[in-house]
Amino acid sequence: MSQIEPKNVNKIVAISVAVLALILLLLYMQGSFVSKVSPGSSPLPGDANAQQSNTAVVEKKQVEDILSWPGTVKSRTVANIAPRMTARIIEIKVNAGDKVKKGDVIARLDERDIKAQENAALAALAGANAQANRAQADEQRTRSLYSKEAATRENFDAVVASAKEAKAGANQAASAVTEVRSHLADTLLLAPFDGVVVKRLQEPGDMGLPGVPVATLQTPQGLRLEVDVPSTCAGRYSIGMDVTVRIDTLGLTTRAQIDEISPEVDPQTRTQLIKTALPAIEGLQPGYFGWLEQACGQHEALLIPVTAVQHIGQLEVVKVVSEGRQLMRHIRTGKTFGEQIEVISGLHAGETVITHPQQAQ
């Protein structure tokens, strides 16, 4: 059996020690030793006396629980454009997304039946007018004869009554023409205001029915965020209250005011509808998704400055001043409140931590 020479043994040992040292150094740089330690303190070398201006005391305060409720941006003014009569739809001039002006034609209904009714009404009016004119001429002639005692009182009264009846018939025929023409105007569905077409609900050839919308129109101004808020939190809101609204599509957070709160609680979801008036925002459109952010309760929290927290890998640590020494403490954090952050574990109220102004954003 061959023997390993002492020189080779020393070489192998030297290489093994170097590799082990390199592995330990890499593990230390990755924070492996810190991650194996439960939340606690590790002494740090260096100056033990932190400057007073770079320290902060861990505070215990009551903070608000800010919750976010999802909602949809909707227009304050919405109109469903629907026929007032039953007729086939001949033409629809708009599509979803089109902008229209007040009085623009949205759709046109079949007017042939109404035109036929108009012609019949005009013919009846012409006949009634002719009869009324003839009755009036008879009345004038009989009146002249009666004044000369050439006609009896009975004849005169009969002619006067006939003239009044004929005149009433003419007025009735004229009213019928006016009514038919109003129906003729109803065959054109017009935009009641300047706005944007949100939906096109029917197509040419469909039968238009009274009250069944052909299209939905809304104004781009006066937008509101409509949110269903759990009734347990809805009681914290009031008309005119300032709230925070977030529109993710625009990457925008703004202040708004509540202008309507539904008094009714939905029995299925136990929520109340809250409508928040939005300020004029460039690019904001009905249908956008948004969030209503507001406090719904409080809890006691430990707070430290955000600049006191350092990150080593995925760990959060702070430097704590204790008995004249700086100790590294592993912590867990929660929500941020302005320039402070909540500490869930690893610190106690009254302890002093070192801040790092250079980390401030």
**Helix boundaries (H) for 148-202:** 153-185
Does residue 16 form part of some domain? no
Is 261 found in the same domain as 193? Answer: no
Least confident of 3-17, 161-175, 202-216, 320-334: 3-17
Indicate if 89 and 151 belong to the same structural domain.
yes
Among 172, 187, 216, the domain boundary falls at: 216
Tell which of 161, 189, 216 closes a domain: 216
Same domain for 190 and 311, yes or no, is no
Domain membership flag for residue 1: no
pLDDT computed for residue 138 by the predictor: 75
Both 286 and 232 in a single domain?
yes
- As a whole number of angstroms, the distance between CA 352 and CA 332 comes to 16
| 197 in any annotated domain | yes
The more confidently predicted of residues 9 and 349 is 349
* Averaged pLDDT, 335-358: 84
Q: Kindly state whether residue 343 falls inside one of the protein's structural domains.
A: yes
pLDDT at site 108: 92
Helices and strands: H and E segment counts in the chain: 5, 21
The pLDDT confidence band at residue 327, using thresholds 50, 70 and 90, is confident
Q: 80-94, 135-149, 315-329: which has the minimum mean pLDDT?
A: 135-149
- List pLDDT tens digits, range 252-283: 889 999 988 888 888 888 889 999 999 888 88
85 and 148 in one domain?
A: yes
Residue 72 maps to which CATH number?
A: 2.40.30.170
Looking at the fold, whether 149 and 189 belong to one and the same domain comes out as yes
The Cα–Cα gap between 59 and 44 comes to: 24
Spatial distance between the Cα atoms of 81 and 105, rounded to a whole number of angstroms: 11
Say what the pLDDT of residue 161 is: 85
Region 213-242: mean pLDDT is 87
Shared-domain flag, residues 172 and 208: yes
Which of 126-130, 157-161, 208-212, 321-325 is modeled with the greatest confidence?
A: 208-212
Same domain, 91 and 212: yes
Q: Are residues 183 and 109 in the same domain?
A: yes
How many domains is the chain built from? 3
Q: Are the beta carbons of 110 and 144 closer than 8 angstroms?
A: no
The conformation of residue 94, written as its DSSP 8-state character, comes to: -
pLDDT given for residue 31 in this prediction: 46
Contact 27, 20 (CB under 8 A): no
- Sequence-distant (≥ 6) Cβ neighbours of residue 300 within 8 angstroms: 60, 61, 62, 63
124 and 247 in one domain? no
pLDDT in tens, 103-133: 999 999 988 888 888 888 888 888 888 888 8
Whether 25 is in a domain gets the answer no
User: Does 22 fall in a domain?
Assistant: no
CATH number for the domain including 107? Answer: 2.40.50.100
> For 151-168, b where at least 16 C-beta lie within 10 A, e where not — what string?
beeeebeebbebbeebbe
Task: Examine the pLDDT at 40 and tell me if it is beyond 80.
Answer: no
Residues 258 and 333 in one domain: no
Q: What residues make up the domain containing 268? A: 67-77+220-298
**DSSP-derived 3-state class of residue 142:** helix
Q: Which of 187, 216, 245 is the last residue of a domain?
A: 216
Position 70, amino acid: P
Q: Is residue 173 classed as helix, strand or coil in its secondary structure? A: helix
Say which DSSP state 318 is in: E
Distance CA 142, CA 154 (A): 11
* The pLDDT of residue 221: 77
Reading the block at residue 337, the tokens are 């409140």
What pLDDT is recorded for position 101?
Answer: 92
Proportion of the chain above pLDDT 90, given as a percent: 17
Which residue from 295, 312, 309 is spatially nearest to 346, judged by alpha carbons? 309
**pTM (two decimals):** 0.51
21 located within any domain: no
Residue 84 has pLDDT above 50, yes or no: yes
C-alpha distances (whole Å) from 23 to each of 15, 18, 19, 123 are 12, 9, 6, 108
Q: Kindly state the average pLDDT of the residues 331-357.
A: 86
Note whether 167 and 274 are same-domain residues.
no
In a domain, 164, yes or no: yes
CATH code assigned at 310: 2.40.420.20
Give how far Cα 5 sits from Cα of 8, 154, 197, 252, 253, Å: 5, 159, 93, 75, 76
